[in-house]
Amino acid sequence: EPEVTQTPSHQVTQMGQEVILRCVPISNHLYFYWYRQILGQKVEFLVSFYNNEISEKSEIFDDQFSVERPDGSNFTLKIRSTKLEDSAMYFCASRAGVANTGELFFGEGSRLTVL
Amino acid sequence: KNQVEQSPQSLIILEGKNCTLQCNYTVSPFSNLRWYKQDTGRGPVSLTIMTFSENTKSNGRYTATLDADTKQSSLHITASQLSDSASYICVVSRDNYGQNFVFGPGTRLSVLP
């Protein structure tokens, strides 16, 4: 069964460092998302991406964050200068088409720990 | 404010018992409502998706209901198993393109032997 894959599964970094989280969405999917979940809290929307551009972003997704789809298969989330409060599980998700009932498939997540 | 609330926050039941989880939402506009299961440290996995016109939908031992008038949904789990221990998250989609999802805080279910 096709799945969304994320790497790394866990990354530990020092505050102020740049981090890139990678995702490979399901191959025929068109819509891509990044979410984060701080330990013990609910899943929060960061950004959605369609047709090679950001379609929507939340207040959390400030200038320190960026997304890219560099090669048609990978979908990356970059945090330019990490802060302690960026420590969370980051989930990538993808969806096939324009049908509003399209299933959203999540990856297993990348746990980011900022020290 | 667009919000999804869930109750109870946590629930403990014995294996083989049934349970019902609740979701109330104030999201507008409403496109569809989804229930996800999230095992600890894993990504959410879709259980059901319901549109405005659907009142009930089943997926194995999981049955979701939707009352769009009262803006309430429930997820009923029948004959619970140890593997049902997880967080169950209610998610409401706001727009017709499914771009804008509002997540609830989840209900943490523990099934004990």
> What is the DSSP secondary-structure string of B14-35?
ETT--EEEEEEE--SS--EEEE
For residue A100, the model assigns a pLDDT of 61
State whether A42 and B106 contact (CB < 8 Å).
yes
Spatial separation of the C-alpha atoms in residues A94 and A69, rounded to whole Å: 13
- Residues of chain A above pLDDT 70, percent: 97
- On the question of pLDDT at A98 being above 70, the answer is no
- A4: which 2 tokens? 């969304």
Spatial separation of the C-alpha atoms in residues A63 and B11, rounded to whole Å: 40
C-alpha distances (whole Å) from B89 to each of A61, A86, B11 are 22, 22, 13
How many helices (H) does chain A have, and how many strands (E)? 0, 11
State whether A43 and B103 contact (CB < 8 Å).
yes
State whether A100 and B93 contact (CB < 8 Å).
yes
State whether A101 and B98 contact (CB < 8 Å).
yes
Candidates B42, B47, B59: best to mutate against A (most CBs of A within 10 A) is: B42
Contacts with A98 from chain B: Cβ below 8 Å: 97
Tens-digit pLDDT profile for residues A37-88 = 999 899 999 999 988 899 889 889 999 999 999 887 899 999 999 999 999 9
Contacts with A109 from chain B: Cβ below 8 Å: 41-43
For residue B78, the model assigns a pLDDT of 97
Contacts with B100 from chain A: Cβ below 8 Å: 45, 48, 56
Spatial separation of the C-alpha atoms in residues B79 and B75, rounded to whole Å: 13
- On the question of pLDDT at B110 being above 90, the answer is yes
Tens-digit pLDDT profile for residues B13-70 = 999 999 999 999 998 888 889 999 999 889 999 999 998 889 999 999 999 999 999 9
State whether B43 and A99 contact (CB < 8 Å).
no
